[in-house]
Amino acid sequence: VNELTAREMLGDTAKFPRWSIAYKYPAEKQQTVIRDIKVQVGRTGVLTPLAILDTVHIAGSNVSRATLHNLDFIREKDIRIGDTVIIQKAGDIIPAVVEVIKENRDGSEKEFEMPTHCLECGALIVREEGEAAYRCTGVNCPAQRLRNIIHFVSRNAMDIDGLGPSIIEQMIEKDLIETAADLYYVKAEDIAEMDKMGKKSAQNLINALEKSKTNPLYRLINAFGIRHIGEKAAKILSAKYKTLDNLRNASVEELTEIADIGGKMAQSVVEFFMQEQSIAFIDKLEKAGVNCIDDSEDSIIDRRFEGMTFVLTGTLSKYKRSEAGKIIENYGGKTSSS
């Protein structure tokens, strides 16, 4: 609809304007064969099956792997090792299996079975009631440890510049670190001789670690990688409790009284702070001098958007979505994903 008055009359839904329709070109699809199904352990212990494929070129890149999401997805589509399948990139980004060509089967295909024990650490694998995901129960699972540290240093968490996965892997291999808290005890001379490092790079990394100690509390909360707690929830908890000690002592009942903090989120927070390894982890961070206090003042300029929730999607003309979201929050509003 081109007429502005008509647009105003039609208005918007929570996700999109009623006066326009978006057309997308159909995603490019390619045929390939599943040669194997591997299991990847994520930072929260979730096991994700990955299809190992004959390499095909799709949407501008070569693809040799595709996510299979979970065991329910595999069973629903009856995906087997050796199957000929159709893949596409979901959102033109993530390769995914969309169809199995069952008429190509010759009887040699094998059904996939989820392992009973973690291939990384040997711990028992369990499926929690009401969830599709299988999880590794290992407290010291190396796969989880690596991904936990990668998350800890990531841009939306502690934002430690120059500390990529390869450097973290070398630190773990050299027994310099076991958890992310150990990063703050590493010395420049310990890492200067590692691959892709040198005296200058090593000192720059130590400086970046030192700088991260003064990060706002919400970044640290997000860096913990607590299940169901992302950057938005971390900001809410930081603003509400002001110190890590206060948050550690919060009950499920108290937490669920906070707007936008649901029951699963509250339970995850309480369970995280009850674990002995979490207590030791936080104690090590505090001794290293990492900031555990939210001393920021209320950043709200005025409350003209109070009680309103905005959905930001697509490309904005003047701002990045993160910047526009911050402006909305500064005026008392909230943002939600589409």
Higher pLDDT, 296 or 34: 34
**Residue 159 in contact with residue 132, Cβ under 8 Å?**
no
Distance, in Å, from the CA atom of 94 to the CA atom of 112, rounded to the nearest integer, reads 22
Q: Tokens standing for 97?
A: 């299996």
Which CA distances in Å does 105 have to 34, 72, 78?
12, 21, 12
Nearby residues of 121 by Cβ (< 8 Å), 6 or more positions away: 136, 138, 140, 141, 142, 143
Does residue 304 carry a pLDDT above 80?
Answer: no
Nearest to 167 by CA among 185, 190, 144: 190
The more confident residue out of 337 and 202 is: 202
Share of the chain above pLDDT 70, in %: 96
Say what the pLDDT of residue 301 is.
47
Per-residue confidence (pLDDT) for residue 284, from 0 to 100: 96
- Residues forming a β-bridge with 108: none
More confident residue, 272 or 55: 55
Question: Looking at 54-63, 132-141, 327-336, which range is the least confident one?
Answer: 327-336
pLDDT over threshold 50, residue 308: yes
Is there a contact between 99 and 56 (Cβ–Cβ < 8 Å)?
no
| Average pLDDT for the chain | 90
CB 123 within 8 A of CB 135: no
pTM: predicted TM-score of the whole model, two decimal places = 0.66
Closest among 253, 247, 249, 245 to 235, alpha carbons compared? 247
Domain 29-111 annotated CATH 2.40.50.140: yes
**Count of CB atoms within 10 A of residue 10's CB?**
13
Q: Is a pLDDT exceeding 80 seen at residue 314?
A: no
Q: How confident is the model at residue 321 (pLDDT cuts 50, 70, 90)?
A: confident
Judged against a pLDDT cut of 90, whether residue 117 lies above it is answered with yes
Amino acid code (one letter) for 174: K
Segment 264-288 mean pLDDT? 92
Which pLDDT does position 303 carry in this prediction?
67
Residue 229 has a pLDDT of 94
Architecture of domain 217-288: Orthogonal Bundle (1.10)
**Token couple for 274:** 């009850």
Q: What does the pLDDT average to over 177-195?
A: 94
- CATH topology match: 29-111 vs 142-212: no
If one compares 91 and 298, the residue with the highest pLDDT of the two is 91
Q: Which of 81, 57, 79 is nearest to 70 (CA)?
A: 79
Which pLDDT score, from 0 to 100, does residue 299 have? 53
- pLDDT tier, 244 (very low <50, low <70, confident <90, very high otherwise): very high
For 310, counting Cβ atoms within 10 Å of its Cβ (0-12 exposed, 13-18 middle, 19+ buried), the class is: middle
* Mean pLDDT across 17-29: 83
More confident residue, 270 or 297: 270
pLDDT computed for residue 97 by the predictor: 94
Four-CA torsion 198, 203, 204, 209, nearest 10 degrees: 130
Q: Which two tokens stand for residue 219?
A: 């970044």
pLDDT tens column, 248-264: 999 999 999 998 899 99
Better-predicted residue by pLDDT, 290 or 137: 290
Higher pLDDT among residues 153 and 300, named by residue: 153
Tell me what pLDDT residue 338 has.
52
Domain boundaries, the chain: 29-111, 142-212, 217-288, 299-338
Gap between the Cα atoms of 28 and 261, Å rounded: 39
Q: Is the dihedral of CA 222, 280, 239, 212 positive or negative?
A: negative
> Residue 337's pLDDT is what?
62
- What is the number of other CB atoms lying within 10 angstroms of the CB of residue 314? 8
**142-212 is a CATH 2.60.120.10 domain:** no
Cα–Cα distance for residue pair 149/132, rounded to 1 Å: 25
- Torsion angle (degrees, nearest 10) of CA 39, 40, 45, 48: -70
Contacts of 189 (CB under 8 A, 6+ apart): 202
